[in-house]
Amino acid sequence: MKFIHIIFFGLALIATVSCSKSSDENQNPQGSKDFELYIDFWNNNGANPQINFDGANSSPEIKIDFSKTFAGVTEPPNLTKVLIDNVRVIDENNVNYTIDKITAYEWRDDINDWKVDVEFIMKYKPVEDIGVVLALDASASLGEDFTIIKEYAKDFVSKIFSSNPSAQIAIVDFADEVHVIGPTNDRNTLLTYIHNIEQGSFTSLYEAMYLSIDSLQKVDVEGKAIATFTDGTDNNSDPQYTPARIYNKLTNDPNQIRVSSFTIGFEGNGGVDRLVLENLAANGGIAEFPNTVEELGEVFDKFSASISNVYNLTYIRNQQKIPQTDPAKLKFVLTASPK
Examine the domain organization and report whether 327 and 226 are in the same domain. Answer: no
Residues 83 and 178 in one domain: no
Least confident interval from 27-31, 156-160, 255-259, 328-332: 27-31
- Is 70 exceeded by the pLDDT of residue 19? no
In a shared domain, residues 212 and 315? no
Residue 73: how many CB atoms within 10 A of its CB?
12
Count of H helices and E strands in the chain? Answer: 6, 18
Per-residue pLDDT, averaged over 93-113, amounts to: 95
**Region 7-26 average pLDDT:** 38
One domain for residues 204 and 279: yes
21-42 residue pLDDT tens: 334 444 564 679 999 999 999 9
Q: Tell me, what DSSP letter sits at residue 324?
A: T
Percentage with pLDDT > 90 across the chain:
77
Residue 238, in any domain of the structure: yes
DSSP state of 43: B
Position 27 scores a pLDDT of 52
Co-location of 147 and 256 in the same domain: yes
Give percent above pLDDT 70 in the chain. 91
- Check which CATH number belongs to the domain holding 161 and give it: 3.40.50.410
Verify that 187 and 90 share a domain, yes or no.
Answer: no
Q: What is the pLDDT of residue 35?
A: 97
Query: What confidence tens digit (pLDDT) does each residue in 55-69 have?
Result: 999 999 999 878 778
Whether residue 22 is contained in a domain is answered as: no
In eight-state DSSP terms, residue 11 is: -
- Domain presence at residue 172: yes
- Does the residue 93 lie in any domain? yes
Q: Is the pLDDT of residue 17 over 50?
A: no
Which ranges of 204-336 does DSSP label H, i.e. alpha helix?
205-217, 243-250, 274-279, 293-308
Does the pLDDT of residue 109 top 90, yes or no? yes
Q: Is 256 helix (H, G, I), strand (E, B) or coil?
A: coil
Mean pLDDT of 219-247: 94
Q: Do residues 117 and 134 both lie within one domain? A: no
Question: Which residues is 108 bridged to in the sheet?
Answer: 113
285 and 203, same structural domain? Answer: yes
pLDDT in tens, 245-279: 999 999 887 777 788 999 999 987 768 999 999 99
| Residues 263 and 222 placed together within one structural domain of the fold | yes
Answer yes or no: is 114 within a domain: yes
Determine the Cα–Cα distance for residues 98 and 131; give it in Å rounded to an integer: 19
**Comparing 327 with 19, which gets the higher pLDDT?**
327
Torsion 84-85-90-96 (CA) sign: positive
* Residue-level pLDDT at 225: 95
Query: pLDDT grade, residue 219 (50/70/90)?
Result: confident
Q: Are residues 182 and 251 in the same domain?
A: yes
Judgement on whether residues 39 and 99 belong to the same structural domain of the protein? yes
Give the domain range for residue 211.
4-13+128-308
Number of domains in the chain: 2
- Are 191 and 216 contained in the same domain? yes
